[in-house]
Structure 1
Amino acid sequence: MIIPFTEATLATGGGKAVNLGVLERAGLPVPEGFVLSADTYREATADLNIDALLSQGPGAVRAAVEGQNVPDAIAREIGNQLSTWGENVAVAVRSSATAEDLPEASFAGQQDTFLGIFGTDDVLDAVRKCWGSLWTARAVDYRRRHGIEHHDVALAVVVQKLVDADTAGVLFTCDPVSGGEETLINASWGLGESVVSGAVTPDEYRATSSSVLERRLGAKQTRIDRHGSSARIADVPQDDRHRLCLTDDQVLELARLGETVQELYGAGMDLEWAYTDTTLWLLQARPITTTASTETATQQVPQRTVSGRRIGRASRVFHTDLVEHYPGPYPLDLCAILPMHRQLQAGMANIGITATPIEQLLEMKPDGTITAAYPDIRVGWRLVRLLGYRSPDPADWPTVEADYRRKLDSSLPSELAPVADQELLALLEKILGLVSDIARVRFLDYVGPAQLTALKLGYYLALARRRDLDAYDLLGDLDYTTVVIDKELHKLASLEPNSSTYRDMRRRFLDEYGARTAQLYLPFSHRSWREDPASLDATLDAVRRSPRGLADKPSHQELVEEIKGRLPALARRGFARTLKAWRNGHVAREASVYLIEEAYVIARRVTDEIANRLHRREALETVEQLKYLTLTEIQDTLVRDASAHQTRLIASQREAARPHAAAAWWTHADQTKASKLAGTAGSPGLATGPVRVITGPEDFNQLQPGDILVCHYTDPSWTPLFGLAAAVIADTGGRLSHAAIVAREYGIPAVMGASGATSALKNGQMITVNGTQGTITG
């Protein structure tokens, strides 16, 4: 049924409608409207088996819900109400969840809003889409994480006359960062979505009800205005960019409005407002849920696992591995991370080690911030299976690889432009499926058995009284992928860059090894050398500046002979057999990683085509913004008629929030002082030098010979930097991490898992790295 705002309760009208009713009863300037009750949603969906549909995924529930009709009597009632407003009146149709806009739970942005809607039929269609938005993957995950039962939440829908704003924005009645009592106002030209989404840099004002304390001019690059039933983004004229969009009188009027609303609710409030000419409208009001105290609390180092248990050593190890392998993911990277990690967890479960499913560990907020919780780890009796597990001979990997390469080579048509949208998405799913299958074979047949092989080698080393060594010290003189690429890089770097020989060899190098990618497990936010040759040039520059190659140490064969000489005669044959399996297995493991990189190059052909299509349809400002969308959001926009305007706002908002989102991935780390930094001994030795923090390939040219390389993590594409660095410090990782293994090959000290090093250490600071003890002093 339809009810006025003043009669809405949380159960009937949801949080948004209740708040509008409170404001309307207080005589505040709320645009005229009504609410379609939550009971209407329940009536329309009563015959759906939500649990069964949800077992197929949130998308199945959403599609079924959007397919339901608004009951005829209520549809007529809506039509009658709209007719009293006139034929050409545009309305806003907004979701109002029954657990929304409460002080302890901010559901803002979880459900959909539709602006500039005309006529009964379009309003009814928008109502059904609002209902469906209760079942997006994001909304379902939010409820699960916050302990809200799906069946306890229904959706009311607010229908309001749309305010065609000349200026609009948001107002906080207190500073959400400092907690100060001054009113904070952000304002820009046109509709308020520009400010709410973060798509523009707005004007900012700080005021009390009696005085304007500060005015800060924003760039206000674009504005959003309604044109008929659609919203359009236009550039703001230069003159308007360079002048404030509010007068002092308007700022004071807004401050007084905020003060009134705060007194009404007895709490700090977040308001959305708009001006048409000189008339002020109050569009929304909700309690501020992220004040200074709560924001600070969210930045503390977690003390519990995702289920609330105490964080143990195994949980920390698995969490560190997760953070290191997927360093700072973008929303689109999740479609690669989730299946990859599922295969890793399946391989672990096969031998009795179970961990919290990856879907429950990663949380993405509406602004694109992704964080990783600590998992629960259990070790069961099936671990004994490892002792009897018969894995394939790792020497057979080339045959396995050749089969996958044939499948990858035939996975796409030569031209993607003629491919239909739905088929394009299917091609992406097909390639991601192949990657998942490669990962399954990699983890089950090569990575898992390698752990047993390493344990066996550890036993032989202990028997030979060489406990100072581990299995990774027995990979010398082995041509696995990373070593081969490093050797080829040095050959290429030694040639004259302007020569035809260099150009020919560079072309062959890119054909053979060009799929190498920085942050290889984040395939949709990073590109390979082949796709971005400038990144190869940066790497070659680092090689040319490197005064050091691999460490001068005894040959592998000399080391093996020494170990054999220390072993009892009866153990030597077993040691040789185990060592051969270990080395063949390492070649296979490295080759499987590079094969995955090759597959992701192919996948990016598809995502590039998708980005171009969405850009042409004005759903993206630039093609580079695709990485700020999840795969589900891309599907919704590409084939399910989701609003291109809304998608563009989401991508722009997340792009603006990226600096915060990137930092949030690492907030688990203790931010300690340099004098107290310590970690795991990764590679022995002692070195003193100036700090150089490197965050990615774009910083490679900053590293100078003798610098201490400080980073979040490294991957194979960073290998050439080890020839420049005097030592390496990484926020994450352990003795078996890439950085530690390569540091030992180059004979430089390394300290791994030094949480907070990239924040605590400053460029140019002189420090001493003790890779034997795992300490950093300065």
Structure 2
Amino acid sequence: MDSSLQLISLADAGTANRATVGGKAGVLGDLLSAGFPVPPGLIVTETVLNIDGWETGLAASAGVLPGERFAVRSSGAAEDLPDASYAGLYETYLNITVDRLPDAVRQCFAAADAERVTAYHRRQGSGPTAMAVLVQAMVDPVAAGVAFTAHPVTGDRAQTVISAVQGLGDPLVAGEAVGEEWTITADDVRMTRPAPGDTVVMTAPQAAAVASLANRAAAHLGCPQDVEWAIDQDGRLWLLQGRPMTALPRPASWAAPGPGLWMRNFRLGEWLPEAVTPLFATWLLPVLEAGYLDGMYDSVGVRIPFRYALINGWYYNVTPAPSPRLLLQVLLQGRRRAVRVLYNALIRVGRDPAAADRAVLADVDRQWREVRLPAYRNLVSGARTEAGTAAPDRLLQLVDELGREAGIHLWYLAIVGGSAWKMEARLTRFCRRYLAEVLPDDQGGAQVLLRGLPGAQPVHAPHAVQSADWYHPVAAELPATTAPLTDQGRRLARLADQRATAEQACRAALAGHPGVRTRFERLLRVNQRYAVTREEQARDFTLAWPVLRRCVRGLGERLAAAGVIDHVDDVFFCTREEVAQSLTGRPAPLAGFVAERRELWHRQRTLAAPLTLGQPTRLVGDVIERAVQQARGSRVVGVGVIVGHPASAGRATGPVHMVHSPQDFPEFRNGDVLVAKATAPAWTPLFARAAAVVTDGGTLAAHASLVAREYAIPAVVGTGDATVRLRPGQIVTVDGTAGTVTPRT
């Protein structure tokens, strides 16, 4: 380059003083020297502007570069550093002709004094820094974008996330356009979000090539990178910028917290579809767990702790293994009654449901219905009246009382309502053996006998929840859905008619086998009764949640008035101890802690939490997986499909509609396939319009499974990552009998 002008070749910038060439040019020079496909260029330093005739010399030097158009970009000395990116603060000018180069260079230098840059210096606690300007041969792209070599939200270093648009990438970088998104791992290349409209920006091989280039650059530069790239008209891939990813969260670890199989889809986990907030974690959750053990003692006479843990904010629990020590503990605490109840409720119910019902379950059900449920309702009713005027210490007490009673109810839901899916598994095996021609699996199988039962109809109750985490509003607080619902009464009447017809057909088929028919009648009656009980118990579990939220928000109002927190809902990001201490003595401000915890929670709830952690013990095994295989039967799962739990039989095809929260309800259309992380009772209105349901979480006993059966729509739950692998509008076929979701290619 012309030494009199002190122009520096980009190829030499990697070894030049960064204070002279700037961060952007220094990084690109390093990459160009290392053999990366970086467009050639030159660097204009600040001293050049003081040399007479620099404009003519610049034009002559630029003439050596290929092409007739140029990209002119600021390159600050403090730019593209690990702790300060300066992204979007300086200037870039594209498609500049030779005659316009001097003006573009001047404007880039002038950007160093812009107010937005000065404000950034103030936030960083630094002063003005040196500036250079990079002039490069212009790439005329057919596609361009950015690539993050670690997931920018979760910090997962095993994922590369690419956003791409047609043509120049500037609108994407500036936030003016939404790009096509790809997520790439070592063994998978997947489009995770299409571009708006029917535009297809890249192919899978191109996305893989971009990811490979970005990761090679990250390896060379020694840290995760935010890379800008472009593919030109000839199909060549170029690297346009590399900068360290700033504020990258630490990658999440999903190690099991102890021995055994830890499940996030079991027990209370069915009601917690995402990471939980701090107040729930430190207050309502332990109160519910303690109440659960009180309920166990109430009906069984022992307390066998279910270990649970929060991992990256997600709830997991592990089933106690039937060790000799545990059995001895049961015998010592509850003597024979405990063994008798647990044997019938956990083992015998799956072999001979009617016998388990006669021996134990009917008495436990009666105890719940006649004693515990009335006590729960009375407590909620009294607390509802009291919560509006109660003093802070009484509000604390009310939460503890309501949470304990809800935990007791959860135990009865687990032991009584939880018996329903074990009974159903036995009914399914019976029907496959004796009634396969009357009740074929591909037409609903044994589930037809359990649909349209009086008392089991889904009800959109005001206390229905999105999550057991009390941060989320209950159904009564949500806006009414505006889209029309299918005539539920007519649909349920049709299902009841189908059930009655199926029962008659089964009895006719077994007419010549009186012993088998008697077993069928017993099995049918007990299954239908517990199917209704399960729905009743699930519906009433969250009776207390409107009052619980009222109590907590009342405490939040007091903390906000005292200046402890800024907003009422900030109370959900405090701990129980902080709330209690702030209501007495001299409270300390918690706004800083709240902001940090809220940000952490938003990151955690976006994580793809595994369904299980660890390994099952040899004696217990994976109980849920065994149930899934029994429900699926001998069906062979095809290659390239999403596999989950076969929760509600049947097949349906339709467009994917991602639902993340009730704010998405109004856009949900008749015939859409509901795809979500999980569903809860507050989501019930969507089922009347859905063609099928697919969830990341859930089991055969989950809310989505039960309601889908009542609406006779296919459901596949427990897929793990359907919300990541599918995209909005994509046509899929949901087979709720096989437990598969097949995207249309």
**Do the aligned residues in 2 keep the contact of 1:461 with 1:563 (CA within 8 Å)?**
no
1:749 aligns with 2:721: no
**Do the aligned residues in 1 keep the contact of 2:471 with 2:572 (CA within 8 Å)?**
yes
2:285 aligned residue (321, 324, 337): 337
1:660 aligned residue (603, 614, 627): 603
* SS state at 2:609 partner: coil
Shift of the 762–637 alpha-carbon distance from structure 1 to 2, 3 Å rule, reads same
2:475 aligned residue (529, 534, 545): 529
* SS state at 1:666 partner: coil
CA-CA distance at 1:653 after TM superposition: 2.3
Q: Counterparts of 2:386 and 2:509 in 1: how far apart (Å)? A: 59
Q: How does 1:195-344 map to 2 (within 5 A)?
A: 207=79, 214=86, 244=119, 246=121, 251=126, 298-299=251-252, 302=254, 305-307=256-258, 315=261, 319=265, 323-328=269-274, 329-334=276-281, 335-341=283-289
Question: How many percent of aligned residue pairs carry the same amino acid?
Answer: 21
CA-CA distance at 1:627 after TM superposition: 1.8
* SS state at 2:463 partner: coil
* SS state at 1:655 partner: helix
**Do the aligned residues in 2 keep the contact of 1:690 with 1:708 (CA within 8 Å)?**
yes
Alignment match, 2:575: 630
Deviations 1:251-303 (A, max 9, x none): 26999xxxxxxxxxxxxxxxxxxxxxxxxxxxxxxxx9xx9899898447x4x
Shift of the 356–634 alpha-carbon distance from structure 1 to 2, 3 Å rule, reads same
CA-CA distance at 1:613 after TM superposition: 0.5
**Do the aligned residues in 1 keep the contact of 2:652 with 2:692 (CA within 8 Å)?**
yes
**Do the aligned residues in 2 keep the contact of 1:547 with 1:723 (CA within 8 Å)?**
no
1:447 aligns with 2:417: yes
In structure 1, give the amino acid aligned to 2:121: L
Q: How does 1:370-769 map to 2 (within 5 A)?
A: 370-372=313-315, 375=318, 378-379=321-322, 384-385=343-344, 386-387=347-348, 389-393=359-363, 394=365, 398-400=369-371, 401-411=373-383, 414=386, 416-417=388-389, 419=391, 421-444=392-415, 446-450=416-420, 453-454=423-424, 456-458=426-428, 460-462=430-432, 464-466=434-436, 468=441, 472-480=447-455, 482-483=457-458, 485=459, 513-519=461-467, 521-522=468-469, 524-530=470-476, 532=477, 534-535=478-479, 537-538=480-481, 541-543=483-485, 549=491, 552=494, 554-567=497-510, 568-639=513-584, 641-643=586-588, 645=589, 647-664=590-607, 666=609, 676-769=641-734
1:362 aligned residue (306, 310, 326): 310
Deviations 1:84-134 (A, max 9, x none): xxxxxxxxxxxxxxxxxxxxxxxxxxxxxxxxxxxxxxxxxxxxxxxxxxx
In structure 2, give the amino acid aligned to 1:337: L
Q: For structure 1, which segment, 451-460 or 588-597, has the greater mean C-alpha deviation from structure 2 after superposition?
A: 451-460
* SS state at 2:652 partner: strand
Shift of the 545–723 alpha-carbon distance from structure 1 to 2, 3 Å rule, reads same
* SS state at 2:483 partner: helix
Q: Counterparts of 1:418 and 1:353 in 2: how far apart (Å)? A: 35
Q: Counterparts of 2:659 and 2:82 in 1: how far apart (Å)? A: 49
CA-CA distance at 1:573 after TM superposition: 4.0
Q: Indicate the structure (1 or 2) with the bigger Cα radius of gyration.
A: 2
Q: Considering only aligned residues, what root-mean-square deviation do their CA atoms show, in Å?
A: 4.9
Q: Counterparts of 2:506 and 2:484 in 1: how far apart (Å)? A: 36
**Do the aligned residues in 2 keep the contact of 1:679 with 1:753 (CA within 8 Å)?**
yes
Q: Counterparts of 1:572 and 1:340 in 2: how far apart (Å)? A: 43
> Unpaired runs of 5+ in structure 2?
1-22, 31-75, 90-113, 131-222, 224-243, 328-338, 349-355, 614-638
In structure 2, give the amino acid aligned to 1:576: E
**Do the aligned residues in 2 keep the contact of 1:305 with 1:376 (CA within 8 Å)?**
no
CA-CA distance at 1:577 after TM superposition: 3.9
Shift of the 699–248 alpha-carbon distance from structure 1 to 2, 3 Å rule, reads closer
Shift of the 316–768 alpha-carbon distance from structure 1 to 2, 3 Å rule, reads farther
CA-CA distance at 1:636 after TM superposition: 2.8
Shift of the 357–207 alpha-carbon distance from structure 1 to 2, 3 Å rule, reads farther
Shift of the 481–340 alpha-carbon distance from structure 1 to 2, 3 Å rule, reads farther
Deviations 1:26-66 (A, max 9, x none): xxxxxxxxxxxxxxxxxxxxxxxxxxxxxxxxxxxxxxxxx
Aligned length: 476
Q: Counterparts of 2:641 and 2:303 in 1: how far apart (Å)? A: 34
In structure 2, give the amino acid aligned to 1:392: A
* SS state at 1:246 partner: helix
In structure 2, give the amino acid aligned to 1:564: R
* SS state at 2:687 partner: helix
**Do the aligned residues in 1 keep the contact of 2:292 with 2:407 (CA within 8 Å)?**
no
* SS state at 1:597 partner: coil
Q: Counterparts of 2:697 and 2:452 in 1: how far apart (Å)? A: 27
CA-CA distance at 1:598 after TM superposition: 1.9
Q: TM-score with structure 1 length normalisation?
A: 0.52
> Unpaired runs of 5+ in structure 1?
1-173, 182-203, 218-238, 256-287, 310-314, 365-369, 487-512
Deviations 1:329-388 (A, max 9, x none): 2222333334445666788999999998444x2146xxxxx1345746524575645536
1:775 aligns with 2:744: no
